[in-house]
Structure 1
């Protein structure tokens, strides 16, 4: 079933990008930016502290990436991140267009550190009628036999990296944070802040209450492996000191990446359920079938 395997691989790439795009969690405690006491740093610090009290939201995210990294995609859904990450979203975009059998939209569920993708009837035709595929990033990394891949994948997909408070924390690692200006966004008055965070900044210790030393080291390793020297972040904060939009741009060995996420309905109730087992096939099983098919072919 070569077509369905390509669909699964493409969808897995899309969902992985959804997580790794937020791999900018460099921490921050409200004392970042070299300890500067500017109004911009104070405002972002207050927003980070306010956002730490929130554990869920609805979101719309857009990623623009080179074709070699999967291409462009849009993600819409809701997520909760208080203890473990739980997400219910829909992925669409050119990242799914590599195979004509791929659906135009892929529902994705992330729960208990496992990602599930509903790939539709074309996929079910070659998977015993099962429309969902489960994907454990750590299991795949172990199968590949590359511990650095395992660390990068788990870090990119853990709850801290989907937490907007952590993205504000990353901005606080910037040596300089500027107030770009007061703007109107979706009819609301917001403050627009900007900063740049390099690998050296991420090596700092200003965000000890957000990151352990191990997590900080994994972040720097992930940046190095992808050829990322740093991030430029733009954050829009509303009158309630909550981030309503976060925009990241960075360069990788494969080209420039741009990621933007808009949040709304902070504190919304998020219920994420694991798909029925009888409707799900494990991604590792698909890989084994592919390996067997190649050996027999």
Structure 2
């Protein structure tokens, strides 16, 4: 099996995981908590996060920078930056760097990625194109890939990755509102922006419970997808931190959780809410379907 094709598979795996959500030192910490069973008085952490979720519902796009840290077998560390919209459906135009890319000098150290109409396209560079009749873009139709595998676990994970709730910051805030307690950590400054940091832990049991308090932000269907994704990846709980600015917009969201493959951390920083997102699929004649690549990888492995 040619090295470039082997690395392409690793890159695709890392990108799949990346589709699943640098802080300053805290100057002051103020105790306070709330949540599904906690204090919901005016000015409480629950009310503050609720206000931020409601405000963020009014926008559907933003620029972002994100980092994901995961075990090497799951793609290692990945960094992404670009713009995305999450309503009416997820669309992203971004650049990705990371350990999976650095594994082979034939692969560009920066890979352009476009996510549109449920398909992820990755520009794999000139050497990749030389192996595929000049086609440099690799396309992954995640729903079709899930159907082809016939593995419900894979299907659950991939379909959740496609859902806009996985990238919508308002629904990430709604997820924090499911925590039994929300702690007010304190005031922090990120890139010159004053923020207030809140923290909570959400278990599978918390996500299953339905008390109606976040129904407007997290539907039953979205909650079910969350529970399915957690179960399929062996996640027992999420630890969530959010940093909210004075205008009730999330500036940064940090998730950490343990999976069957090992610990994962995902942090995304938002800016320029309402930004234009021009995600367009590359011309068909420049695209290699991932299933075609996968078949060749499997054939090469069998011959080897």
Tell whether the structures are fold-level matches, with TM greater than 0.5: yes
Moved more, 204-213 or 181-190: 204-213
Q: Distance in 1 between matches of 2:190 and 2:166?
A: 24
Q: CA RMSD in A?
A: 1.8
Structure 1: which 5+ residue stretches go unaligned?
Answer: 23-30
2:12 aligns with 12
Deviation of 1:159 (Å) = 1.2
1:139 aligns with 144
Q: Deviations over 1:273-294 (max 9, x none)?
A: 1101111111111122334445
Normalised to the residue count of structure 1, the TM-score between the two structures is 0.91
Q: Deviations over 1:107-134 (max 9, x none)?
A: 1000000000000011011111111011
Aligned CA distance change for structure 1 residues 93 and 112 (closer, same or farther; 3 Å): same
Tell me, yes or no, if the aligned pair for 1:179 and 1:192 is still in contact at 8 Å: yes
Tell me, yes or no, if the aligned pair for 1:191 and 1:238 is still in contact at 8 Å: yes
Normalised to the residue count of structure 2, the TM-score between the two structures is 0.89
1:28 aligns with none
Is 1:228 the counterpart of 2:235 in the alignment? yes
Q: How many residues align?
A: 288
Give runs of aligned pairs for residues 191-230 of structure 1, distance below 5 A: 191-205=196-210, 206=212, 207-230=214-237
Moved more, 172-181 or 200-209: 200-209
Aligned CA distance change for structure 1 residues 254 and 294 (closer, same or farther; 3 Å): closer
Tell me, yes or no, if the aligned pair for 2:234 and 2:260 is still in contact at 8 Å: yes
1:34 aligns with 37
Aligned CA distance change for structure 1 residues 76 and 228 (closer, same or farther; 3 Å): same
Structure 2: which 5+ residue stretches go unaligned?
Answer: 22-33
Tell me, yes or no, if the aligned pair for 2:11 and 2:75 is still in contact at 8 Å: no
2:264 aligns with 257
Deviation of 1:256 (Å) = 1.4
Tell me, yes or no, if the aligned pair for 1:15 and 1:108 is still in contact at 8 Å: no
Deviation of 1:168 (Å) = 0.4
Deviation of 1:148 (Å) = 2.9
2:173 aligns with 168
Tell me, yes or no, if the aligned pair for 2:65 and 2:268 is still in contact at 8 Å: yes
Partner secondary structure for residue 192 of structure 1: strand
Is 1:51 the counterpart of 2:56 in the alignment? yes
Give runs of aligned pairs for residues 1-297 of structure 1, distance below 5 A: 2-20=2-20, 22=21, 33-34=36-37, 36-38=39-41, 39-205=44-210, 206=212, 207-294=214-301
Deviation of 1:35 (Å) = 5.7
Aligned CA distance change for structure 1 residues 59 and 107 (closer, same or farther; 3 Å): same
Tell me, yes or no, if the aligned pair for 1:251 and 1:257 is still in contact at 8 Å: yes
Q: Distance in 2 between matches of 1:291 and 1:18?
A: 24
Moved more, 221-230 or 55-64: 221-230
Aligned CA distance change for structure 1 residues 245 and 143 (closer, same or farther; 3 Å): same
Partner secondary structure for residue 202 of structure 2: strand
Deviation of 1:140 (Å) = 1.4
Q: Distance in 1 between matches of 2:245 and 2:53?
A: 12
